[in-house]
Amino acid sequence: MRLSQLCTHTMKEPPKGEVSRNARLLTQAGYVSRLMAGVYSYLPLGLRTLNKIETIIREEMNALGGQEVLMPALQPRENWETTGRWDKVDVLYKLGSGPIEKPEDYNLALGPTHEEIVTPLIANFVHSYRDLPVAVYQLQTKFRNEPRPKSGLLRGREFRMKDLYSFHADQNDLDSFYERSIQAYHSVYRRCGIGDKTLLTYASGGIFSKYSHEFQTLTPHGEDTVYRIAGTSIAINKEIIGDQEALREIIPNYQTGDEDRLEELKAIEVGNIFKLGSRFTEAFRSSFADKTGSQGKIVMGCYGMGPSRIMGTIVECLSDDKGLVWPEEIAPYTLGLLNLKHDDAETKRFCDALYEKLSSANVDVLYDDRSESAGVKFADMDLLGLPWQLIVGPRSFEQGLVELKCRATDKRATLAVDEVFEKLRNGNITL
Ligand code: ATP
Ligand code: MG
């Protein structure tokens, strides 16, 4: 992609009216644009990154055995009344397909989550134990009327979610799938570059299990508070910190009063998994014929993860005072090519040829071919946060030398063009 053709521009200053670091930087760099509080457009660079995050999630959910579906965002009131949640979920957006005069006229909801849809949908295909287990997931836009949508992509009123639902013949089968899902979640966060900061966090469960689990990414800008067990990557959330019995159960050799083994930290919840038991399958009167021929209860698990919140979290965790810093697997482009002598015909020809050659070697290149000063190009490329920069200056055309810079570490090396390709051929670039 040539930067001169990109439909967005960077801004000199962060936007007024955004307080969160992720929204300020992503807007300044032209990745997203706010329509209203908690509602954003994804522009070409931002959408490339969001899509890459969703591709990672898709790969890991497929590997876990999930089958991808896409369910409607527009949902009938009836399903929400069946589970008793029409009046309980306070962030539910309600709509009417006709004029609204009184609350009863609302007959539709915009999906904040999909238990009400997926349960009857899948249970309809489950007749006997042979039809179980089954897991389906989707990557979809969700709607929640969040009261304080001031944190950019971290808390949208319209946002992206991956939600997976698993259906099992018994609790043991649910338990083993649940354990495997934890590993799949860790793989996603590792590939997104926040694996080392993301803690498996015990949260309160419900009627069907004692605990649920959150995945919490440590950052001082997080809205949540977690308590890390010293020397581990496991934490406990605020809800259960006062429960001595739970602490004894979760923490090895825990004694009452051992609170100094818990470190209080700020974090962002990037995933949440939950054993639902038969809460929803009972509401929809779904069952199956077990091995003996009698009717069994289908037990469920739900597994949520927020791709758009992950994108915001990466910005909160990895960006620096010059701008964004993307891990290689989710950067919109791998390499930025900077022509510092755009007014020189020979250098321009050299750069154009290099751009073609890199593109045909399947490197995702963003080529700054604009007539801007070197200072503007350096600042913009740092703001955009691509992992690698290839800088073509006065010596390039005459001596065939270019500078390769790593955005995250600021390490640089002067290389012959062939050496750059040597590094690319070996798969990943290292300096
Ligand atoms: P929170 O406690 O932060 O409001 P939640 O517990 O209500 O979130 P879940 O219903 O568990 O969220 O949703 C699954 C995942 O979807 C969350 O772990 C998070 O990554 C993401 N998510 C939830 N709400 C939002 C939101 N408003 N904006 C962006 N992502 C969200
Ligand atoms: Mg949650």
Q: What is the pLDDT of residues 107-146, one digit of tens each?
A: 999 999 999 999 999 999 999 999 999 999 999 999 999 9
Give mean pLDDT, residues 146-173.
97
Q: What is the pLDDT of residue 426?
A: 62
Q: Which of 192, 226, 272, when mutated, tests ligand 1's pocket best, judged by the most ligand atoms within 8 Å of its CB?
A: 272
Query: Structure tokens of 365?
Result: 């290149």
CA 214 to ligand 2 center in whole angstroms: 7
Does position 395 have pLDDT exceeding 90, yes or no? no
Does position 342 have pLDDT exceeding 90, yes or no? no
Query: Pick from 396, 395, 391: which is nearest to 406 by CA?
Result: 391
Give mean pLDDT, residues 373-399.
93
Q: What is the pLDDT of residue 259?
A: 80
Give mean pLDDT, residues 318-324.
98
Q: What is the pLDDT of residues 175-195, one digit of tens each?
A: 999 999 999 999 999 999 999
Query: What confidence category does residue 427 fall into, taking pLDDT thresholds of 50, 70 and 90?
Result: low
Q: What is the pLDDT of residue 397?
A: 74
Q: What is the pLDDT of residue 228?
A: 96
The torsion angles phi and psi of 36, rounded to 5 degrees, stand at -160, 180
Ligand 1 atom nearest 149 alpha carbon: 27
Give mean pLDDT, residues 169-179.
98
Query: Pick from 183, 167, 366, 204: which is nearest to 280 by CA?
Result: 167
Does position 312 have pLDDT exceeding 70, yes or no? yes
Query: Pick from 295, 331, 335, 291: which is nearest to 314 by CA?
Result: 331
Instruction: Tell me the pLDDT of the chain averaged across its residues.
Output: 95
- Domain residue spans of the chain: 3-73+111-318, 335-426
Q: What is the pLDDT of residue 337?
A: 98
Ligand 1 atom nearest 271 alpha carbon: 18
CA 321 to ligand 1 center in whole angstroms: 28
Give mean pLDDT, residues 3-28.
97
Does position 302 have pLDDT exceeding 90, yes or no? yes
Q: Domain 3-73+111-318 is of which CATH architecture?
A: 2-Layer Sandwich (3.30)
Ligand with minimal distance to 144 CA: 1
CA 135 to ligand 1 center in whole angstroms: 20
CATH for the 335-426 domain, from 3.40.640.10, 3.40.50.970, 3.40.50.800, 3.90.226.10 = 3.40.50.800
Which three-class secondary structure string do you get for the chain?
CEHHHCCCCCCCCCCCCCCCHHHHHHHHCCCEEEEECCEEEECHHHHHHHHHHHHHHHHHHHHHCCEECCCCCEEEHHHHHHCCCCCCCCCCEEECCCCCCCHHHCCEEECCCCHHHHHHHHHCCCCEHHHCCEEEEEEEEEECCCCCCCCHHHCCCEEEEEEEEEEECCHHHHHHHHHHHHHHHHHHHHHCCCHHHEEEEEEECCCCCCEEEEEEEECCCCCEEEEEECCCCEEEEHHHCCCHHHHHHHCCCCCCCCHHHEEEEEEEEEEEEEEEECHHHHHCCCEEECCCCCEEECEEEEEEECHHHHHHHHHHHHCECCECCCCHHHCCCCEEEEECCCCCHHHHHHHHHHHHHHHHCCCCEEEECCCCCHHHHHHHHHHHCCCEEEEECHHHHHHCEEEEEECCCCCEEEEEHHHHHHHHHCCCCCC
CA 269 to ligand 2 center in whole angstroms: 7
Which residue's CA is the nearest one to ligand 1's atom 6? 272
Which residue's CA is the nearest one to ligand 1's atom 27? 155
Cβ(309) – ligand 1 distance below 6 Å? yes
Cβ(303) – ligand 1 distance below 6 Å? no
Q: What is the pLDDT of residues 46-96, one digit of tens each?
A: 999 999 999 999 999 999 999 999 999 999 999 999 999 999 999 999 999
Query: What confidence category does residue 242 fall into, taking pLDDT thresholds of 50, 70 and 90?
Result: confident
CA 335 to ligand 1 center in whole angstroms: 32
Q: What is the pLDDT of residue 195?
A: 98
Q: What is the pLDDT of residues 356-375, one digit of tens each?
A: 999 998 899 999 999 999 99
Which residue's CA is the nearest one to ligand 1's atom 31? 306
CA 216 to ligand 2 center in whole angstroms: 10
Q: What is the pLDDT of residue 403?
A: 95
Does position 406 have pLDDT exceeding 70, yes or no? yes
CA 397 to ligand 1 center in whole angstroms: 52
Ligand 1 atom nearest 214 alpha carbon: 18
Does position 281 have pLDDT exceeding 70, yes or no? yes
| Percent of the chain at pLDDT exceeding 90 | 88
Q: What is the pLDDT of residue 430?
A: 78
Which residue's CA is the nearest one to ligand 1's atom 18? 271
Q: What is the pLDDT of residue 252?
A: 83
